[in-house]
Structure 1
Amino acid sequence: MGMCLPCLGGPGNDLSTSPDRVSNLETRRRELAEAAEKRQKETTYRGVKNPQAVERNKKNKEMEKQEMRPSLPGGGLKWQVG
């Protein structure tokens, strides 16, 4: 049995973090994050032929809701006694 840890006298080159190894890890993390975003988008728009149209419709509905809200502080309702 060989010694693989540097504290036991074995080769310790595998445990060091060289700059190119760190950049490889950063690259790998970025690629994994991009792949996760891509999967998320695919599952969000599964079965939708035109995702841009869906987004446009959502924005239009939100704009309509904002326009329907009254701008008066009391909610636009007035009390009438009579």
Structure 2
Amino acid sequence: MGMCLPCFGGAADDIVVTPDPDPETRRRQLAEAAEKRQKENAYRGVKNPEAVERKRKKQEEMEKQEMTTSASGGGGLKWQVG
């Protein structure tokens, strides 16, 4: 049987103690990790996330243009077929 606990095998010499980072550094690391997880979850199953982002921006631009056109009184009635 192998010895897996440091108190039984003298492996305590192998343990490296690293100092805890200051709270600001830790907070920044946690925020970066959270942003990374959100990005990964947002594009899960999407083969080309750049294309999705371009399409979303184009859609927002068209909606914005439509709002400015309708707000300036340049439309009135819309034709609907169907």
Provide the TM-score with structure 1 as the length reference: 0.54
- Which of the numbers 26, 29, 33 marks the counterpart of 2:27? 29
Instruction: In structure 2, list runs of 5 or more residues that go unmatched.
Output: 1-19, 78-82
Which of 54, 61, 75 is matched with 2:59 structurally? 61
Between the two structures, name the one with larger relative contact order (CA 8 Å, sep ≥ 6): 1
Unaligned runs of 5+ in 1: 1-20
Deviations along 1:20-77, one digit per CA (max 9) or x if unpaired, are: x7x611111110110000001111110111111111001111222333443533x632
Larger Cα Rg: Structure 1 or Structure 2? 1
**Identity value in percent:** 55
Task: Measure the CA separation in 1 of the matches of 2:49 and 2:38.
Answer: 13
Partner residue in 2 for 1:77: 76
Return the TM-score normalized by structure 2.
Answer: 0.54
